Structure 1
């Protein structure tokens, strides 16, 4: 078979056939194996850095009981979401991910470009969060090693720009062994199983034990977001209709198991939760390590996590650049020519540097106001879940929206899996905007609803001012 572009005929590679059926011209070299695609999602999830950066959320809201059971319950439902996405990704293995899926399943909803804009901003915000965390780890290392406390204006770090998803998989596996072994061998006191599986902690001010435990679930959801990132490199993978969905599901399954091992080591080794809560270190996990393994090994543990965090930030900006490329291809993003330009490494570098630029602007909020910056970061997590919700809603209420399924198909389990994913996503979105401390004041209020609301307002204005005139649906770039 052949496809034509401007009157020229080209041979069709088997790996590109499904892409051609979707009306998209193959432009990227297909060089990524299952391990590489899996590494992208695995890296975006960032199990070691995600859990380490957010452990205090569950530790102070529910304690060990909330962390252990919250991790397993949320992992199960996030696995269902992964199965839902894998089925869609197998049918539409192309760059753009959630945005393309929504457009293809409900082409009459031109407002589906909202999904792309919202999700692209969510990924950029997530990258900003990762870069801030790197700065906090550096600050904590300085505090542990030299007793120095860095101010917010000095808590900054540079961005890196190259792809290292395969290395990340090995780093995560090796890092998990290092962290778990160090904690379990060196901790002077090991907690009992009763403490790990039943102890409840509450530093929130709320009196409802059940609500406090639920707040701790947010740590697990925040850590496990990102499985769908494999779709952003689908056009660069061999047999993407098979490898991409396997990577989506495999990244969650692997993260569930690795995260459980790391979490249990942390819970068995934590010496004093009150000490972690009252820490003066830039990031609370540093205090947990310091109490359990001492200053020197704490430095080692923080280095392992920080490198993992750097790789996660790189992957996030890599994925967002691919999404900008997909949006520009469909006239859903300004400066189409620029954002479709690839460098000699086949990277859409305009998207990369736009992600970095937006990240730098947002990071300035951290210098001016920690409250404003935290609101922006918390909005990243809920923006991701709101983006997840849109293709899931279509699969629940329009179950026939996929006409041509790929090799990965759920069959009779498709609707129940999507319905359970729908309920869980709604639950999490509500949970993310609830106040996490009582009584609430200007310093501890959960401003995520304000930040997300502001983002939605900006997206809506952009739609009426520019998007509705330019975006007319998916653009076919090839004729078969």
Structure 2
């Protein structure tokens, strides 16, 4: 009798899942696309994708010194909470649009659907955001190499050369490609594991943590110095929208994807606050961290607080989280290449839309790996040039956020039929707040972070972003203007 009840329950669950899949596929068909991917992503897996891309352990650890030297503990603490609040508003804006258009391509597709009469907006958003995801993955894999270099310094006193660090970054790019080639199940399981890994990875006086001000920038304005510390928080919290890239692989994506977009920021806000406070209470000497010779400055903080053995353990925990975050960025970029190719916004359409037996768009995966290996070589010649290219990724992400939010602010009627996740009367105020913060951060990201500025400490991000925009502009007039008209309905294109 018990076996019969279990069997009936299993059959009922299978029928319910089949209905959910049918609903999801129908919504995708209403947008003009046929279902190409198996829907194997649960809410926790989709949430894990965004959570993994945000990477609290990795983003905060890698950029912790930015806030520590620009405002100190007071700037870090208050900057984190202020930025988290506004990033949550941005997440709500994106989640509302995601619920309406739960399909691969995310920001790019949303812009195309909301302003179909201006295809250049969608083209620019798609290319800018896809390159931002590739660059973010490259930055993550180089950071893994720097963590390994720091471990060699802490444990063996050996300093790795730039060539050795670049070789490790190459290996990590290739490893990210291999994992992404395995397919959806591997990435979903890894993303769920990353959530628990971050939770598990996560002393001074309270007066130090909440009121101590530090300034190693050279700027005299205390207010401006604290604002510079905001960059660490924004850099850490970018990535919530990554859930949209696997929307066509999730059951009831119109509900799950927006919940993951907003929920990943809410969870990261709380977890990040706990992790940041633990770091601040562990700081022994800020000047020691500032003067460190370790490849990753936070290594000095760990070393001063707990000694060499436990410091290496801390580095291992953060490094593994960074590995998973970088893999997720290549997951997003490969899906973006697929979406762009599907709509004739990317060359070699047939190749980039080809899936292997693991349901992975492997052309997009290995294109990301190739770009990563090429750009990583810049680190051999100049760390400054490499930093400029990679810091442009953070600005590119914010500029990409800005595109759909601008449309929602100035063309509030651009969406007629909202999805289940709808902000109602709060939609326009939330979008205005998100728009204002995006503009503020994009300006802040290109300002000099040190004074007086010289060739070594100059912020070259504006040059890198400007160069990327020039390349996209040339590509639009040379090729995109003639081939890209907006989303292509695959239901009529493919039989």
Q: Structures share a fold, TM > 0.5? A: yes
The reply to whether residue 349 of structure 1 matches residue 362 of structure 2 is: yes
* 3-state DSSP of counterpart to 1:400: helix
Q: Does the Cα contact within 8 Å between 1:321 and 1:351 map onto a contact in 2?
A: yes
- Is the 2:48–2:194 contact (alpha carbons within 8 Å) kept by the matching residues of 1? no
CA shift, 1:472, in A, is: 1.1
Q: Any runs of at least 4 consecutive aligned residues in structure 1 with deviations exceeding 4 A, and if so which?
A: none
Match of 1:45 among 50, 54, 63: 54
Q: How does 1:403-442 map to 2 (within 5 A)?
A: 403-442=416-455
Q: Tell me whether 1:301 sits opposite 2:314 in the alignment.
A: yes
Question: What whole-Å deviation, never above 9, does each CA across 1:13-52 have from its counterpart, x for those lacking one?
Answer: 2221110110111111111100110011011101101100
CA separation in 2, counterparts of 1:171 and 1:119? 24
Q: Could you give the per-residue CA deviations for residues 121-175 of structure 1, whole angstroms, max 9, x where no partner exists? A: 0001100100110000000000000000111111132132324344444444444
Q: Which residue of 1 aligns with 2:238?
A: 225
Are the aligned partners of 2:96 and 2:419 in contact in 1 as well (CA < 8 Å)?
A: yes
Which residue number corresponds to residue 146 of structure 1?
A: 156
Which residue in 2 is equivalent to 1:8?
none
Partner of 1:207: 220
Task: Answer yes or no: is the 8 Å Cα contact 1:39–1:168 preserved in 2.
Answer: yes
RMSD of Structure 2 on Structure 1 (CA): 1.2
Indicate how the Cα distance of structure 1 residues 66 and 365 shifts in structure 2: closer, same or farther if over 3 A, else same. same
1:386-443 deviation digits (Å, cap 9, x = unpaired) = 0100000000000010111100000000000000000000000000000000000001
Tell whether 2:38 aligns with 1:25.
no
Q: CA deviation at 1:78?
A: 0.5
Asked whether the equivalents of residues 90 and 241 of structure 1 are also in contact (C-alpha less than 8 Å), the reply is yes
- How do 1:147-162 residues align onto structure 2 when only pairs under 5 Å count? 147-156=157-166, 157=168, 158-159=171-172, 160=175, 161-162=178-179
Which consecutive unaligned segments of at least 5 residues does structure 1 have? 1-11, 181-189
Which residue number in structure 2 is paired with residue 400 of structure 1?
Answer: 413
Q: Distance in 1 between matches of 2:116 and 2:194?
A: 41
**Equivalent position to 2:390, from 364, 373, 377:** 377
Give the TM-score normalised by the residue count of structure 1.
Answer: 0.94
Task: Provide the secondary structure at the position in 2 that maps to 1:164.
Answer: helix
Residues 1:63 and 2:72 aligned together: yes
C-alpha contact (below 8 Å) 1:44/1:229 kept by paired residues: yes
**Aligned pairs (5 A) from 1:439-478:** 439-478=452-491
Cα deviation, residue 56, structure 1: 0.5
Aligned to 1:106: 115
2:194–2:324 CA contact under 8 A, matched in 1: no
1:184 aligns with none
Alignment partner of 1:306: what SS? helix
> Who is 2:134 aligned against?
124
Distance apart, 1:177 and its partner CA: 3.6
Counterparts of 2:392 and 2:442 in 1: how far apart (Å)?
Answer: 10
Describe the shift of the 1:169–1:29 C-alpha distance in structure 2 as closer, same or farther (beyond 3 A). Answer: closer
The number of residues matched between the two structures is: 459
Instruction: Report the alpha carbon displacement of residue 473 of structure 1 after superposing the two structures with TM.
Output: 1.1
Q: Is 2:187 the partner of 1:164?
A: yes
Q: Secondary structure at 2:428's aligned position in 1?
A: helix
TM-score (norm 2): 0.91
Structure 2 unaligned blocks of 5 or more: 1-20, 180-185
- Return the structure number with greater helix share: 2
Work out whether residues 94 and 232 of structure 1, in 8 Å CA contact, stay in contact via their aligned partners in 2.
yes
Separation (CA, whole Å) in 2 of partners of 1:174 and 1:50: 15
CA distance in 2, matches of 1:273, 1:193: 16
Contact persistence 2:45–2:188 (CA under 8 A): yes
